[in-house]
Structure 1
Amino acid sequence: MNHLTRLTLLLPGLLALCDTAGAEDAPLILDPSVVTGSRSASPTFDLPYSVDAIDRDQISDGQLGINASEALARVPGLVVQNRQNYAQDLQISSRGFGARSAFGVRGIKLFADGIPASTPDGQGQAATFNLDTAERIEVLRGPAATLYGSNAGGVIQMFSREGEGAPRIGAETLVGSDGLNKNHLTAEGATHGAGFVLDASRMDTDGYRDHSSARRDQTFAKLNLHPDDDSKLALIYSSLEQNGTQDPLGQTWAAYKADPRSVSANALTYNTRKSIDHQQVGMNYERYVGDATLQVNAYTGRRSVIQYLSIPKGTPANERGGGVVQFDRQFYGAGARWMQPIDSAPGELMIIGGLDFDQSQDSRHGYQNYSGNTLGVKGQLRRDEVDTARSLDPYLQANWALDRWTLQAGVRHSSMEMDVDDQFLSNGNASGRKIYRKTTPSMSVMYAFTPDLHGYVSAGKGFETPTQAELAYAPGNAEGFNFGLKPSDSTQYEVGLKAQVGSTRVNAAVFQITTEDELVVNQSLGGRTSYQNAGRTLRRGFELGLQSQLAEQWSTHLAYTRLQATYDSAFMGGGNPVDKGNYLPGVPQTTLFAELNWKPRDWVSSAIEGLYRSKVYVEDTNQQHAAPGYSVFNWRARLEQKVEHWTFHQTLRLDNVLDRQYVGSVIVGDGNGRYYEAAPGRSWYAGAGAEYQF
């Protein structure tokens, strides 16, 4: 390990000794186009809100292609925490939205190729993103995100590549610390007017912490067709399979300090684990009708999950709901959008009208996690219900560019229905139905002071409904769903500047978000977590993004966020007083990402990444030990060679170069005090691949 460390640290210096004469200038793309927000391709510099695009090189160059956290750390306003736990997925928050999620992603709308990766109630899974096929990722923050409906505190869209050029096939392998091994096969290109992308990968890891091994299989297929000169069609299939993924649970502060790799004894006693089988198909169709455009998408899929929890035998939660959660989900939806230019209006005016429908239905069961004296197995049935979430959202939007002014305004009427059909009558009929409705307007105005300096103001209303998991338990030991929960309402304001100075792009924004009826943890004991509505919250922040081509061979990227997220009124949470001015748990006040990239020739690149996060509170009273702030540095390099029809590449990566020990993520409000999840120390990765072009 010491030899590898010295080699990787010295390699940039050794490469610097190479003759750089003839090195090609590869300037950064400082003004990429995105569709998120405006719904039609527009340069980010001309859009009156905070939106960023992460391109293919930033997603793949020297990265592992395993977790979205690899790419999203470079976006201001986002906090992406890798739990080092494949049973629970990443934790992602945008300006504080989504920070309380105990598993998966909530409060942020996720899309893959325009198809929702979030259920109608707002729960999403970033693990379904296939980074090996990603062309770009778009991230929208602020008031404009509310035009995507309920639970849209931010929007993250991943777009896969389209098959283009001569057909080619490739293979890649990656190995690294903690038993990591990933093998990847791909084929893509175009033939007879049809483009195709085929991709399959398997990732295995022993995990950094004890009892955290995982195997993840992903497949992806995409077919692009042009039925005629005025239309195009994309057919997409994807799957994710994880069998027996171990769950190490969180750690108490004492356990983390004693041994960062440790796990709770209950995790071993009950063999906590999770299996996932997720498959979906989708279709995107676009047709030009005169000067207008019709866009239609539709999708369907299934997701099966069984999870073994550590709820102790004999506790009320195990007897009533069970310590084994199993559900089979059927989901489907469709959307249609009409985009009409108005030629009679001055300037450039586009009117967009659309309708989105989504439904997710779970056949959900709960079992005791023991049978007799055998623990960690499926026992007696203790829960049987069908949970249905559906949404139907019409929306209208206008994009208008007039001289130096750009106006974007829209309104969306969101309706989310949660229906519970309890079929376990011996436990009392817990059936019920709840409908949440809200009309959310948004308006953004930009003025071009000069061609290279734009300023904007944006405002909007939003709301966040409880998810099925947050409704699942009433406070205390009461039976049934917590249908008394109300949605959280937000009002958002943003003021920003966008500037281009030579080969440097700067984005800066200040924002304020006020919420009413914030959803917070009420009680988390014995495997049952219930939620309540708190009072008001206030979030004020500043974001700065900078990209620059410093010289022919050097470029840099910086993302800085300062966020003051506090409760703006006092309340009682789980029987404990929470004072006005307390900080929202899970939200660091300061986040800084910086990258320095060196590319002396077109076949080699190397970069240093740095990440700083300030301390994070773990529960609402702010009395428990906060996860300390930390700084980590990573190094990566990629080399490429071309020989006739062959292209070879090699990747070297060293994470946490200085071998710092730190808490990588927290579980907000955990009733057992297991708030902390340790991040790995120094870790190495090496990969190689080959591609053949026909």
Structure 2
Amino acid sequence: MQTRFSSPLPAHLARPGRLAILLAAAFAGGAQAETTVSLDSIVVTGSRVEHNTFDLPAAIDVVDASRIGADQARVNASEALASVPGITVQNRQNYAQDLQISSRGFGARSAFGVRGIRLISDGIPASMPDGQGQAATFNLDRAERIEVMRGPLSAIYGNHAGGVIQLFTPDGKGAPSVEANFAAGSYGTWKTDLSAQGEVGGVGYVIDASRFATDGYRERSAAERDQAMVKLTYRPSQDGKLTFIANTFRQDAQDPQGLQWSEFKSNPRGVAWDATRGNYPAIAYDTRKSIDHTQGGVSYEHRFGDHSVLLSAYAGQRSTTQYQSIPVGAQTGSTRHSGGVIDFDRDFAGVSGRWTGRFGLAGGRLTTTLGFDYEQATDDRQGYENFVGSGTPANCVANTCGVMGRLRRNEEDRVASFDQYAQAEWQGERWAFTGGLRHSRVAFKVDDRYLSNGDDSGRVAYEKTTPTLAALYRVTDALNLYASVARGFEAPTFNEMFYSSNGGSFNLSLKPATSTHYEVGAKAMLGARSRLDVALFEIRTQDELVVLSSTGGRTAYQNAGKTERQGMEVAVDSRWGERLSSRLAYTWLDATYAEAFTTSSGTVNAGNRLPGVAAHNLFGEIAWRHQPSGFHAAVEGIVRDKVHVEDSNQKQAAPGYAIANLRLGIDRRYGPLNLRGFVRLDNVFDRQYVGSVIVGDSNNRFYESAPGRNWLAGVSARYTF
């Protein structure tokens, strides 16, 4: 559950302060719409059928629309997911590399994008068949809720399901309405959004388009993003529902890269200096990334009494061009090199189907689900030199860099996955039992067309059956206890296969990581106004995928030995009368290597902590709302422990930090017109801290700076016809 309060307050900056006063004056008077605070929510993640979170034997949270839009720009999932225990979402302040998201430590070492977590948006995977995903494609403007599940039951979603994050948008319904939003803030940041929704002739529609731009907190971190979506729903009969959804995403972003520790301390807003080359690589090579992404899907659900069938299909195309700081001198020789420019076009598609049946059994209710998922993606991938001109290749200031040069790589990469699963849940008066079985097969194929340095074509496939089992006992109407266990499966992604050591050929010898998950938990209603969720877990992993080396945009991986994760997640939601609410979310995670192993830089000892994973994370919020006037305000606090940046734990860890955020807003209704406004101030005390880390970077550029004190203000208007 997420408390329903929004909006921050810019206390120290004069201009945001004046804006708050103007907003109060402009919206004075009028009637305020009712708002509610719910301590339970309905989810479909995990059981695949509607379920109360209180009665589900899993650690699961729902981030509703009020928190997703809690006086935020609604650009990054990190804004909405900060209050979820067990999930860490780090904003790199680098839109070229996307967010860094981890679930109980899974995905923390991803160099870019999201791995180790299954991403789904309105039934369409935002994760590719190999497990690599992009959270940037989530449309937060129209999000109705985000469901976040951790732990053993995530395994029912197959490969790379260390956790599951699902976004849902609402169906268009009722009288037509239009809405416009505008927000602006520090570092030249602004966003505008225009949407419409309603129902005409039995067809529900939701249409949304937005544009976002920022100069960025750091040097060379500017970005522009355009996003749009269309969702149509139609019921051909009382028991049938047809849904069509299409999304587009286009982004151009500079890449400031990471900093060494001394650089972070002296100039956190700058870019790294390369003494060997005598330049700033991010500037000299004009490091940047462009993405053009389009996808669409259709689904049909039909109910036959207590049974239902769901069929869906989707397809999409993604084009990406990325300029990296790899000198021409490092792109020659007999070994395989990608060049300093990555350019690929990806076609992806998938189909899925599932049948759900409900039966009476042994005085209880049995729900069974049988289904399949087929996904495939094909990359037409090239690599070019990031250099055109003459002279010393390392000196790109004197020559022309940041320009696509000679071809150095040409290949077709294919990956396909085919999964079948069965799931059953029996619910009695006191007991509930859940069991599932999923069989996954992921196949990779590389067709090398650049043969001057040898033929690196090859193929490899991974296959695994993963079971899950859970039980829940209702001690009282206000207390549920549960336990669950599962096997997990993480195949290497294409990004982890691209290089062996020293930038060599494809690393098809990588093995999948397998894991066993254990969890026990309690869910309790503390009177009528508070809810407590506690989960204790242990995860044992074999063949953990770790960074072997990382430099200039090339990261090579290897399999380590065993790892262990033990931890606890606690969330407390409370309502204090009609105006105050609070949320507290705490995570303790002890993630260590259980066996020693050797990398290119030496031996990693047993007992070392996994890099990219903080031992302690704490989020706290207290929010106030005055119903008659529509004013609301909140104070947020985030505390995070230190994070190691590489496996030996010898380099400077990113220190722990504590920051505070304030927000203030107003929401007023005047007949068919609803007006809202907000101001917020983040990092109130102007702390300098590392927002995220690049695990294992060979140039010691591990650190990505978080912004200092910054503000955001916005207004919106919705008119219902």
Q: Secondary structure at the match of 1:299?
A: strand
Residue 445 of structure 2: aligned partner? 419
Residue 363 of structure 1: aligned partner? 380
The amino acid of 1:331's aligned partner reads F
Q: Deviations over 1:612-639 (max 9, x none)?
A: 1000000000000000000111111221
Residue 292 of structure 1: aligned partner? 307
Residue 268 of structure 1: aligned partner? 283
Q: Distance in 2 between matches of 1:605 and 1:196?
A: 31
Report the alpha carbon displacement of residue 230 of structure 1 after superposing the two structures with TM.
Answer: 1.0
Q: Is the 8 A contact 2:118 2:164 kept in 1?
A: yes
Q: Deviations over 1:540-597 (max 9, x none)?
A: 0000011111111000011100000000000102231100000000000000011111
Is 1:305 paired with 2:320? yes
Q: How is 1:288-367 mapped onto 2 (pairs within 5 angstroms)?
A: 288-316=303-331, 320-367=337-384
Larger deviation, residues 537-546 vs 645-654: 645-654
Report the alpha carbon displacement of residue 345 of structure 1 after superposing the two structures with TM.
Answer: 4.5
Residue 593 of structure 2: aligned partner? 567
Cα distance 1:348–1:369, how it changes in 2: closer, same or farther (>3 A)?
same
The amino acid of 1:660's aligned partner reads R
Q: How is 1:113-512 mapped onto 2 (pairs within 5 angstroms)?
A: 113-243=122-252, 245-264=253-272, 265-316=280-331, 320-373=337-390, 374-478=400-504, 480-501=505-526, 502-512=528-538
Q: Is the 8 A contact 1:23 1:600 kept in 2?
A: no
The amino acid of 1:326's aligned partner reads D
Q: Secondary structure at the match of 2:625?
A: strand
Q: Distance in 2 between matches of 1:28 and 1:458?
A: 29
Q: Is the 8 A contact 2:230 2:245 kept in 1?
A: yes
Q: Distance in 2 between matches of 1:261 and 1:394?
A: 48
Q: Is the 8 A contact 1:640 1:647 kept in 2?
A: yes
Is 1:34 paired with 2:51? no
The amino acid of 2:474's aligned partner reads A
Q: How is 1:597-612 mapped onto 2 (pairs within 5 angstroms)?
A: 597-601=623-627, 603-612=630-639
Report the alpha carbon displacement of residue 4 of structure 1 after superposing the two structures with TM.
Answer: 2.6
Q: Is the 8 A contact 2:90 2:692 kept in 1?
A: yes
Q: Is the 8 A contact 2:503 2:556 kept in 1?
A: no
Q: Distance in 1 between matches of 2:212 and 2:70?
A: 18
Q: Distance in 1 between matches of 2:198 and 2:607?
A: 56
Cα distance 1:620–1:19, how it changes in 2: closer, same or farther (>3 A)?
same
Report the alpha carbon displacement of residue 524 of structure 1 after superposing the two structures with TM.
Answer: 1.8
Q: Is the 8 A contact 2:372 2:419 kept in 1?
A: yes
Cα distance 1:577–1:163, how it changes in 2: closer, same or farther (>3 A)?
same
Report the alpha carbon displacement of residue 316 of structure 1 after superposing the two structures with TM.
Answer: 3.9
Aligned alpha-carbon RMSD (Å): 2.1
Larger deviation, residues 339-348 vs 258-267: 339-348
Cα distance 1:8–1:609, how it changes in 2: closer, same or farther (>3 A)?
farther
Of all paired residues, the percent bearing the same amino acid is: 51
Q: Distance in 2 between matches of 1:463 and 1:344?
A: 32
Q: Distance in 1 between matches of 2:302 and 2:11?
A: 58
Q: How is 1:67-146 mapped onto 2 (pairs within 5 angstroms)?
A: 67-146=76-155
Q: Secondary structure at the match of 2:681?
A: strand
The amino acid of 1:113's aligned partner reads D
Q: Is the 8 A contact 1:204 1:215 kept in 2?
A: yes
Q: Is the 8 A contact 2:223 2:251 kept in 1?
A: yes
Q: Deviations over 1:211-249 (max 9, x none)?
A: 010000000110011011110011001011013x10000
Q: Distance in 1 between matches of 2:692 and 2:551?
A: 20
Q: Secondary structure at the match of 2:187?
A: helix
Q: Deviations over 1:439-479 (max 9, x none)?
A: 0000010000001000000000001111101000122353x
Cα distance 1:344–1:142, how it changes in 2: closer, same or farther (>3 A)?
closer
Q: Distance in 1 between matches of 2:348 and 2:562?
A: 34
Larger deviation, residues 526-535 vs 554-563: 526-535
Q: Is the 8 A contact 2:328 2:339 kept in 1?
A: no
The amino acid of 2:464's aligned partner reads K
Q: Secondary structure at the match of 1:255?
A: helix
Q: Is the 8 A contact 1:117 1:125 kept in 2?
A: yes
Q: Distance in 2 between matches of 1:9 and 1:48?
A: 49
Is 1:638 paired with 2:665? yes
Report the alpha carbon displacement of residue 121 of structure 1 after superposing the two structures with TM.
Answer: 0.7
Q: Distance in 2 between matches of 1:349 and 1:36?
A: 18
Report the alpha carbon displacement of residue 72 of structure 1 after superposing the two structures with TM.
Answer: 0.6
Q: Distance in 2 between matches of 1:42 and 1:545?
A: 19
Q: How is 1:478-627 mapped onto 2 (pairs within 5 angstroms)?
A: 478=504, 480-501=505-526, 502-601=528-627, 603-627=630-654
Q: Is the 8 A contact 2:20 2:679 kept in 1?
A: no
Q: Distance in 2 between matches of 1:450 and 1:47?
A: 15
Q: Deviations over 1:129-183 (max 9, x none)?
A: 0000100000110000011001110000000111122101121111100000111
Task: Normalising by structure 2, report the TM-score.
Answer: 0.93
Question: Across the two proteins, how many residue pairs are aligned to each other?
Answer: 689
Q: Is the 8 A contact 2:357 2:369 kept in 1?
A: yes
The amino acid of 2:294's aligned partner reads Q
Report the alpha carbon displacement of residue 527 of structure 1 after superposing the two structures with TM.
Answer: 3.8
Q: Distance in 2 between matches of 1:527 and 1:40?
A: 42
Residue 276 of structure 2: aligned partner? none
Q: Secondary structure at the match of 1:315?
A: helix
Q: Distance in 2 between matches of 1:545 and 1:344?
A: 34
The amino acid of 1:490's aligned partner reads S
Q: Is the 8 A contact 2:11 2:681 kept in 1?
A: no
Residue 660 of structure 1: aligned partner? 687
Q: Which runs of 5+ in 1 are unaligned?
A: none
Q: Distance in 2 between matches of 1:402 and 1:8?
A: 56
Q: Distance in 1 between matches of 2:678 and 2:127?
A: 33
Report the alpha carbon displacement of residue 6 of structure 1 after superposing the two structures with TM.
Answer: 9.6
Q: Secondary structure at the match of 1:680?
A: coil
Task: Normalising by structure 1, report the TM-score.
Answer: 0.96
Q: Secondary structure at the match of 1:221?
A: strand
Q: Secondary structure at the match of 2:328?
A: coil
Q: Is the 8 A contact 1:317 1:526 kept in 2?
A: no
Which of 52, 56, 62 is the equivalent residue of 2:65?
A: 56
Cα distance 1:332–1:339, how it changes in 2: closer, same or farther (>3 A)?
same
Q: Is the 8 A contact 2:16 2:713 kept in 1?
A: no
Q: Is the 8 A contact 1:330 1:360 kept in 2?
A: yes
Q: Secondary structure at the match of 2:405?
A: coil
Q: Is the 8 A contact 2:33 2:669 kept in 1?
A: no
Q: Deviations over 1:663-692 (max 9, x none)?
A: 000000011110000000111111112122
Cα distance 1:390–1:46, how it changes in 2: closer, same or farther (>3 A)?
same
Q: Is the 8 A contact 1:508 1:542 kept in 2?
A: yes
Q: Deviations over 1:454-508 (max 9, x none)?
A: 0000000001111101000122353x21011000010000000000112101100
